[in-house]
């Protein structure tokens, strides 16, 4: 189910204070990047990703692929930063950014 505008607003305010936990460089979406994406989404639910890709279209394609692969919802894109969210069924409240900042 897609995120509501109210949820996006809440997640944007939480995401403002987060540091990127994943960086995608010119090598693109390698196995290591996708493994780290899965780990980060499982642990934190809401993560910020930095994309060091120069072309805007390539950057947006990479974000779409990250969301598709991670089964996550895109919350926001600002420049080279993306904020994505995936609900975790077994939430660790000490690690989850959503629960820590509520």
Look up residue 82 and give its DSSP letter: E
**Residue whose token pair is 């979406």:** 29
User: How do residues 53-64 score in pLDDT, each as one tens digit?
Assistant: 999 999 999 999
Q: What is the pLDDT of residue 65?
A: 95
β 73-78/81-85 pair status: antiparallel
Q: What is the pLDDT of residue 9?
A: 95
Instruction: Give, for 85, the enclosing helix (H) or strand (E).
Output: strand 81-85
Instruction: Give, for 74, the enclosing helix (H) or strand (E).
Output: strand 73-78
State the pLDDT confidence band at 1, using cuts at 50, 70 and 90.
low
User: How do residues 34-85 score in pLDDT, each as one tens digit?
Assistant: 999 999 999 999 999 999 999 999 999 999 999 999 999 999 999 999 999 9
Helices 56-70/31-44 angle, 10° precision: 60
CA-to-CA separations, 7 to 46, 72, 75, in angstroms, rounded: 12, 14, 9
> Is the pLDDT confidence value at 23 over 70?
yes
Distance CA 97, CA 10 (A): 12
Q: What is the pLDDT of residue 71?
A: 95
């Amino acid at each position: 189910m897609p995120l509501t505008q109210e949820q996006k607003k809440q997640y944007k305010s939480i995401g403002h204070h987060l540091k990127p936990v994943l960086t995608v460089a010119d090598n693109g979406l390698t196995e290591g990047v996708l493994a780290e994406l899965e780990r980060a989404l499982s642990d934190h639910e809401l993560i910020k990703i930095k994309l060091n890709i120069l072309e805007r279209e390539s950057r947006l394609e990479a974000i779409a692929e990250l969301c598709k692969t991670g089964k996550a919802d895109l919350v926001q894109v600002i420049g080279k930063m993306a904020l994505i969210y995936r609900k975790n069924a077994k939430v660790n409240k000490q690690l989850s950014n959503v629960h820590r900042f509520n």
